[in-house]
Chains A and B, each alone.
Chain A
């Protein structure tokens, strides 16, 4: 198989996830112009940041006039999960030339991680996997940018989309993402604590409530992990 074959295989492997990402890019572009960004700024955000949930939150916070440090702190917290992805793929790529690791570092979204990590596990981190990654990257980045542009054009055609209830689209999107994770009781505990915390702390300055409620959720999840283990040891003597 030539490099070109691996590149195409990489693009093809990304296809199902591209279909899933398309509506989110469309929605992001639409929300960005309705939140007051120019078309170029909305496109620039997709091109520079390239992280769906952080971008959604970013435009929402920008529109609500939040301070810059809080916006950046929120970006940091919401994207912390990428550290986990970075650590997971590290053993397979640590011998790669630097420029390929730079490419991977920029492209390591949730979707790319899912596809690329599977490839690493099944085929290892040889030169063919580098071309596979390039295929993944072109497909994902291209889809994200193209769907953002479509969304921006759509948003400019139909002004005042908030009348269409589009601000709820973010709630629907994030609730759907959270819902798929709620299969473990520790995740449910994390969600309940974060939600309750957000309600109780509502209205704190600089949106600090968001950060504190998130931390409460993480701690609750970690504590809930220990619950069943503890009951077992108590029963066992």
Chain B
């Protein structure tokens, strides 16, 4: 039951953000600074989320080339940066991660 309430709340928040300008019509204008700040939200949030998962996969810092999650994350970042292909970067990164696990296990 609690899960369903959480899902509903997540849905309402998402809907409210998407509706924020479309539903009120022409009464709202976005401040320019806010607009510029919004551009950085995806990169900032996603990076803040994955960097600890890659650099400290088991809780302790593992700043080491033998860390499969770190190798995989760097591969995804670089491939996506230079090819612009999200799906390719994701699959190559996952393949490299599994290879690292097998080779260094």
Contact surface of A with B, Cβ cutoff 8 Å: 20, 23, 37, 41, 44-45, 48-51, 53-54, 57-58, 62, 68, 71-72, 74-87, 89-91, 93-94, 98, 101-102, 104-106, 108, 165, 167-183, 186-187, 190-191, 193-195, 197-199, 202, 209-210, 213-218, 221-222, 225
Contact = CB atoms under 8 A, between A and B. Distances in A.
Contacts of B89: 172, 175-176, 179-180
Given A48-B11, A78-B41, 9 more contacts: A68-B6, A86-B22, A105-B19, A165-B98, A176-B77, A176-B86, A176-B93, A190-B43, A195-B51
B4 A41 contact: yes
Interface residues of B, number: 67
Given A54-B14, A177-B80, A214 B7 contact: no
Contacts of A89: 21-22
Contacts of A197: 48
B103 interface: no
> What DSSP secondary structure best describes chain A's contact surface?
helix
Interface of B: 3-4, 6-11, 13-15, 17-23, 25-26, 28, 30, 33, 35-56, 61, 68-69, 72-73, 76-81, 84-87, 89-90, 93-94, 97-98, 101
17 contacts: A44-B7, A49-B14, A57-B49, A77-B45, A78-B45, A91-B26, A94-B25, A168-B72, A171-B73, A172-B94, A175-B54, A175-B93, A176-B87, A178-B46, A194-B45, A194-B51, A198-B48
